[in-house]
Structure 1
């Protein structure tokens, strides 16, 4: 009924290491910061301007604010603050506008790569950013490496479990893992009825709720939200995640439960998320990863 035991107690940081967190929206950057403090490391917080909705939770930490278009100033900031490791955590709702990016010497060398990455989408940009930083001596790590128990374990995570029809929906929804169109799908009656778009999981669930309300899913009961990483995804950033709000929205959409890719998905605010699912009678299950979990 619970998540699998995490492998280890967190990332083993050498003496003198300093971890920075690029913080976006949601609870993930807060949970990563708290995890670091539990391990005896006080993080340096880089607030993504206009994206953070829990700034008060970072009041106790050293911090700076950086606009997305000022990404070229990130490396000098990291070097100035002595940052050795960097975590990208939280939701970034928009991509930087290339025409408004302020160039620096360090950024000019990768501008062509950034332009191509913006055209490929968010994950392409994350790969360029992480590889560019690592070439310059900054180790980029995933939130799940800092706080291992954020990663979903395999098996039943709640009191309720899937019925046979739900397993058919889960298998149908897992097709999202073979595509490069998003991280979530909703399957009802053994077939996918909606894929995640630019609106994110919240919008996907709202769209499903409206379909039920308009009678487009008349006669079809239950259904499952399935979340998994995209093919070749940069696993150190933007892993699929669920939280208490996801559970509430899935329930409002009339779904029976949520299936997530074990080891490659995050459960935010874990105790609250599982407790809310139990209270509403929804299941949360972790299915085996379709790719090795140690890939970068």
Structure 2
């Protein structure tokens, strides 16, 4: 996949802080395609890709002393944060560098007590205190962003569009509280909101509700994943992949709505083919449709 980046190696070496999932690897491949030589910080207990062919090191989240050492040694000037993190950092894991000591008290409060977006903002501040610029994964892999309109063979019908508006409104209100990015609406009613468990687990709850007869017979519903209203675009953009399609199918949904230009579709071809096969639509939408 060839992409264009607003940065170049003249801006210093690019590094990737890699969590779990496919996105960090896709970012690394795209970076190579545009002539970068990305260095990968594999988050301990999170990074789950095969990084053969890339220069890597294990990185314990919160170890900013080691991060600063590596940044200086490898002339790193830009960092991309990509992939999921299942466990929030504990205060005992934070090892500050000299650059972070003064900023640490206020940022630690964000990391320990805030929601996910507050956590990521605090983490970004600490990284940039090392003298690096944090760039968004969407700047490296823009081809993975959802387009506006129908993506695939199937389209949303009138009922699905009605559910979509309800779910978008719910997802945005949820995001204002810095809790989650996703909501499910069935028959004009919000039936599930994403919490700490993540999207797939939320969809499993919807599947359970359907099996228990708690949802209207013959009514499918829609999953919406949108950015939080004040979300920093440099981290944790809404993401789906083939597994999301399978979970949505088991939950009995008609399709998935993503925020256009601000959401990733991983394994894009496979994800679209899976949706086409399972009879689900994928739609890229803007906020004003709500």
TM-score interval, normalised by the smaller of the two chains? over 0.9
Change (3 A) 1:33 1:256: same
Separation in structure 2 between the aligned mates of residue 99 and residue 133 of structure 1, nearest angstrom: 18
Alignment of 1:1-296 (within 5 A): 9-15=4-10, 17-54=12-49, 56=50, 58-118=51-111, 119-175=113-169, 176-179=171-174, 180=177, 181-289=179-287
Separation in structure 1 between the aligned mates of residue 216 and residue 115 of structure 2, nearest angstrom: 35
Which range moved further: 23-32 or 210-219? 210-219
Q: Over residues 166-211 of structure 1, what are the superposed CA-to-partner deviations in whole Å (9 max), with x where a residue is unaligned?
A: 0011100012113322100001001211100110001101000011
CA contact (8 A) 1:267 1:273 kept: yes
CA contact (8 A) 1:188 1:220 kept: no
Separation in structure 1 between the aligned mates of residue 7 and residue 105 of structure 2, nearest angstrom: 35
Separation in structure 1 between the aligned mates of residue 218 and residue 107 of structure 2, nearest angstrom: 45
Change (3 A) 1:64 1:248: same
Change (3 A) 1:289 1:86: farther
CA contact (8 A) 2:27 2:137 kept: yes
Q: Which runs of 4+ in 1 moved over 4 A?
A: none
Separation in structure 2 between the aligned mates of residue 138 and residue 102 of structure 1, nearest angstrom: 18
TM-score normalised over the length of structure 2:
0.92
Q: Give the structure 2 partner of residue 294 of structure 1.
A: none
CA contact (8 A) 2:68 2:97 kept: no
Q: Which runs of 5+ in 2 are unaligned?
A: none
CA contact (8 A) 2:265 2:271 kept: yes
CA contact (8 A) 1:264 1:289 kept: no
Deviation at 1:220, TM superposition (A): 4.8
CA contact (8 A) 1:89 1:238 kept: yes
Q: How many residues align?
A: 282
TM-score normalised over the length of structure 1:
0.90
Separation in structure 2 between the aligned mates of residue 272 and residue 123 of structure 1, nearest angstrom: 29
- RMSD (Å), alpha carbons: 1.7
Q: Which runs of 5+ in 1 are unaligned?
A: 1-5, 291-296
